[in-house]
Amino acid sequence: MTRRISIEVISCLLIILFIYTGLNKLMEYSNFKFQLGRSPFIQPMAGLIARTLPFGELLIAVALIFRKTRMAGLYASYGLMLLFTGYIYLMLKFTYDLPCSCGGVLAQLSWSDHLIFNIGFTLLALSGIILQAGMHSKVITENNIHKKIIAPA
């Protein structure tokens, strides 16, 4: 029961994050695209990223809502948060001009705070994967035990 509640809470936090950031990027699309274009690491791909990232974040949020697609959503969350975290680390380590393409409340964070925030959500997504995988293996084990009790070979 605790595991299921933990998975639900983790999923809800990730859903809130990705809906918030995805919608914010769409509502402030011009600024988001402009700031991406200023980044030395992703400048050549800024247009493509600006067009696809917000919808990708919203798609991940939808995947996290449903139990059948939750594991895929958790893996996608982990992968995306890992990319975001790596990007912020590279920006902090190797550039002096730090353009911020985040909007809303997240834009108020310093780059160092943003790195910590992203590490936290990356670990949260990883925890969700581990917990969800444990739930899946528990269900398989219980189903196999149930089958053996009902219909012995």
Query: pLDDT confidence of 59, banded at 50, 70, 90?
Result: very high
- Backbone angles phi and psi of 31, in degrees to 5: -65, -40
Number of domains in the chain: 1
Rounded average pLDDT over 32-50 = 91
Residue 136, Cβ density class (10 Å: 0-12 exposed, 13-18 middle, ≥19 buried):
exposed
C-alpha to C-alpha distance for 10 and 129, rounded to whole angstroms: 10
Q: Is the pLDDT of residue 152 over 60?
A: no
Kindly report the pTM of this predicted structure: 0.84
Give me the domain span that covers residue 14: 2-150
Q: Are 46 and 33 in contact (CB under 8 A)?
A: yes
Q: Directed axis angle between helix 46-65 and helix 2-27, to 10°?
A: 150
Of residues 132, 134, 130, the one with CA closest to residue 63: 132
Q: Are 69 and 63 in contact (CB under 8 A)?
A: yes
What values do phi and psi take at 82, rounded to 5? Answer: -65, -40
pLDDT of 140 > 60? The answer is no
